[in-house]
């Protein structure tokens, strides 16, 4: 059974600070990793995807992947009140080699609150 | 970018009736469609995977005769909840995997359908 674990929170961060979200996964052969933002009652919105070990930066967001530790994280710099949402970590197979035909395994999400 | 249009966004039905949810990929071909279900404060749980023209593959514990999936074209997939019961009340989300003109769009999610069975 594939599992993705996240701290459910809530994680409260002051506006302008760095929010750090963490995720661990159980399936060692996982190849693709995603962070989604989900507002209440809405569908998930893709924030970042990462496939290789190391860091990947996109604007205020940085995703970090460590396959040896089976660990993925998301850093949000200069946090804004609009960043308040639930952040879902999702894990999948190799998207370009058959694994893309598999669905994603999601964590339960971390509820992030940015305090003005 | 790629868009998946999901309808209806919200539906209330009586117990014992059937409800159909549609997902259409706009501007790209959805070779694979995934259907998820999300209960309040829970994660998205994969229900089934369908490829165009093939029978859907259901996850363990998901009744294939209750959740009918049709993926007859590369742009349309439907999920029909048959003989709905209150415990089927949930948020149903589709996700398409596909490409257009050589561009891989990864996983594109629909906007979700809130089903309430009374």
Rounded-to-integer distance, Cα A92 and Cα A34, Å = 8
Residue A11 has pLDDT above 70, yes or no: yes
pLDDT of residue A108: 95
Q: What are phi and psi of B10, to 5 degrees?
A: -150, 135
Q: How confident is the model at residue B31 (pLDDT cuts 50, 70, 90)?
A: confident
Give per-residue pLDDT as tens, B38-53: 999 899 999 999 988 8
Q: Which of A44, A49, A101 sits opposite B109 (nearest CB)?
A: A44
Averaged pLDDT for residues B54-61:
91
The average confidence (pLDDT) of chain A is: 93
For residues B33 and B47, the answer to whether their CB atoms sit within 8 Å is no
pLDDT of residue A97: 61
pLDDT of residue A100: 57
Residue A99 has pLDDT above 60, yes or no: no
Question: Any idea which residue has 């209440």 for tokens?
Answer: A40
Strand locations in B17-89, DSSP E? 19-26, 29-38, 44-51, 57-58, 67-73, 76-81
Residue A96 has pLDDT above 70, yes or no: no
Q: How confident is the model at residue A28 (pLDDT cuts 50, 70, 90)?
A: very high
CB contact under 8 A, B97 and A100: yes
Q: B107 contacts in A (CB within 8 Å)? A: 34, 46, 92, 104
Give per-residue pLDDT as tens, A41-87: 999 999 999 999 999 999 999 999 999 999 999 999 999 999 999 99
CB contact under 8 A, B44 and A34: no
Residue B19 has pLDDT above 90, yes or no: yes
Residue B7 has pLDDT above 80, yes or no: yes
CB contact under 8 A, B111 and A49: no
A88 in reach of chain B (CB within 8 A): yes
Q: How would you label B27-38 residue by residue, b for 16+ Cβ within 10 Å and e otherwise?
A: ebebbbbbbbbb
Question: Any idea which residue has 């009744």 for tokens?
Answer: B63
Q: A108 contacts in B (CB within 8 Å)? A: 41-43
A23 in reach of chain B (CB within 8 A): no
B29 in reach of chain A (CB within 8 A): no
Residue B1 has pLDDT above 80, yes or no: no
Q: What are phi and psi of A5, to 5 degrees?
A: -110, 135
């Amino acid at each position: 059974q594939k599992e993705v674990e996240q701290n459910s929170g809530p994680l409260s961060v002051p506006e302008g600070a760095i929010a750090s979200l963490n995720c661990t996964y159980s399936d060692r052969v996982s190849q693709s990793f995603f962070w989604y933002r989900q507002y209440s009652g809405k569908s998930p919105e893709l924030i970042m995807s990462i496939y290789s070990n190391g860091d990947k930066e996109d604007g205020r967001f940085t995703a970090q992947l460590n396959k040896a530790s089976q660990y993925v994280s998301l850093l949000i710099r200069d946090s804004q009140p609009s960043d308040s949402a639930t952040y879902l970590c999702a894990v999948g197979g190799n998207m370009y080699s058959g694994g893309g035909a598999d669905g994603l395994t999601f964590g339960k999400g971390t509820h992030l609150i940015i305090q003005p | 970018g790629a868009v998946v249009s999901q309808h209806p966004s919200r539906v209330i039905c009586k117990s014992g009736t059937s409800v159909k949810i549609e997902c259409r990929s706009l501007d790209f071909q959805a070779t694979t469609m995934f259907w998820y279900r999300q209960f309040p404060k829970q994660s998205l749980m994969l229900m089934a995977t369908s490829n165009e023209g093939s029978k859907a593959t259901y996850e363990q514990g998901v009744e294939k005769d209750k959740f009918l999936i049709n993926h007859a074209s590369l742009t349309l997939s439907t999920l029909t909840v048959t003989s709905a019961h209150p415990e089927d009340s949930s948020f149903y989300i589709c996700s398409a995997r596909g490409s257009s003109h050589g561009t891989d769009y990864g996983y594109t999610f629909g906007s979700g359908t809130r089903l309430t069975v009374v």
